[in-house]
Amino acid sequence: MPDYLKAGLTALAVALISEPFLIPALRRFKFGQFIRQEGPQSHLTKSGTPTMGGIMFLIAMPAAMFFAGKVGMESFLALYLVLAMGLLGFIDDYLKIKKRQSEGLTSKQKFIGQIIVALIFAAVLWWMKGGRVWLPFANRFYDIGILYIPVAVFIIAATVNGVNFTDGLDGLCSGVTFFVALAFLLLCRAWGISQLTWFAASLAGSCLGFLFFNLHPARVFMGDTGSLALGGAVAALALLTGTEFLLPLLGVVYVLEVLSVILQVGYFRLTGGRRLFRMAPLHHHFELCGWNESQVDIAFWFLTALVSLIFLGILI
């Protein structure tokens, strides 16, 4: 069996085995989700559903990588970003539960945490490979020197927050990220980047395993523990493969979710209270247009799968 397949199946198995034990434990500790009153009213019934299920990603991905026995500098660096962002999300989730409200860390605290974690990753990556970036449509490399560090930090923070915004419907974030991971898996195999092939496989396997428990109606939510960890994984794959400037294409759903929030806030302020969308992020707009959660999931998954083919067509 190829090592990358071994890593993916291990992550899938760990997810399927661990969640049935994790969900009752989260209930026992009263780690239930607090639902924002400003969100869709239909979501209020989800209050109390166990959250912090994203802890599974912090177990499954390292276990899969070490089981495959292929942890090198690049995959270790990618795991660092997953675990560090996941820990930041865990703190946020824990504070939400402790305060019994839908906000844990303040936006400023969360942003500072993300920047510190991203800075360490970016500095190490710059030390490893220098400041060369590839511009896909120009099909050439440019050396931007130490400026690579702030560019990488921006990409990490933007990706992590994009994934975080996408985590708003049952199965949406884990499904979208599965297709993103699958695209990176195929790319890394084609390019012969073995360490990252195993990492992408472990990400795909863990997303698929979590999706089994997270499909509507969800038995568990990933919380910020999971969404920040997944954002870290996607950003790490983009930066380590040198495809960071194609990430807005592959992560088009993440981009649309963030843009919908920015446009909604900007339009609201400019027009003195009018709304561009019925609700932001974008998935809530479709919900309020009459789509059910499964329909939104399928549409966003299909869009991700489609752009994944375009992404691979450009690079392979």
Range of the domain at 121: 3-243
Q: Report the C-alpha gap between 201 and 12 in whole angstroms.
A: 10
Rg (alpha carbons) of the chain, rounded to whole number: 19
Residue 258 belongs to some domain of the structure: no
Residue 314 belongs to some domain of the structure: no
- Asked if omega into 248 is within 30° of 0 (cis), the reply is no
Q: Report the C-alpha gap between 206 and 295 in whole angstroms.
A: 23
Predicted pLDDT at 127 = 95
Contact between residue 292 and residue 215 where contact means Cβ atoms under 8 Å apart: no
Q: Could you tell me the two tokens for 15?
A: 């997810």
Contact between residue 143 and residue 271 where contact means Cβ atoms under 8 Å apart: no
Residue 274 belongs to some domain of the structure: no
Query: What does the pLDDT look like over 242-285, one tens digit per residue?
Result: 999 999 999 999 999 999 999 999 988 999 888 998 988 999 99
Of 55, 133, 52, the closest CA to residue 93 belongs to 52
Q: Could you tell me the two tokens for 245?
A: 């400037």
Amino acid at 136: P
Q: What is the total residue count of the chain?
A: 316
Q: Report the C-alpha gap between 183 and 200 in whole angstroms.
A: 9
- Asked if omega into 24 is within 30° of 0 (cis), the reply is no
Coil, strand or helix at 69: coil
Residue 176 belongs to some domain of the structure: yes
Residue 253 belongs to some domain of the structure: no
Q: Report the C-alpha gap between 137 and 207 in whole angstroms.
A: 31
> Per DSSP, what are the bridge partners of residue 132?
143
Residue 192, classified by CB atoms within 10 Å of its CB into exposed (0-12), middle (13-18) or buried (19+), is: exposed
Contact between residue 241 and residue 187 where contact means Cβ atoms under 8 Å apart: yes
- Looking up tokens 């590839």, which residue turns up? 134
Residues near 251 by beta carbon (within 8 Å), at least 6 away in sequence: 159, 162, 163, 180, 234
DSSP code for 243: -
Residue 291 belongs to some domain of the structure: no
Helical spans, DSSP H, in the chain: 3-28, 55-68, 73-99, 107-129, 148-166, 172-191, 194-214, 223-241, 247-250, 252-270, 282-288, 293-315
Residue 294 belongs to some domain of the structure: no
Specify the number of domains making up the chain. Answer: 1
Residue 49 belongs to some domain of the structure: yes
Quote the pTM value: 0.94
Provide the residue-wise pLDDT of the chain in tens; the chain has 316 residues.
788 889 999 999 999 999 889 999 988 877 766 666 555 655 656 677 888 999 999 999 999 988 876 678 898 999 999 999 999 999 999 998 887 776 778 889 999 999 999 999 999 999 999 998 888 777 788 889 999 999 999 999 999 999 999 998 999 999 999 999 999 999 999 999 888 999 999 999 999 999 999 998 889 999 999 999 999 999 999 999 999 999 999 999 999 999 999 999 998 899 988 899 898 899 999 998 999 999 999 999 999 999 999 999 988 8
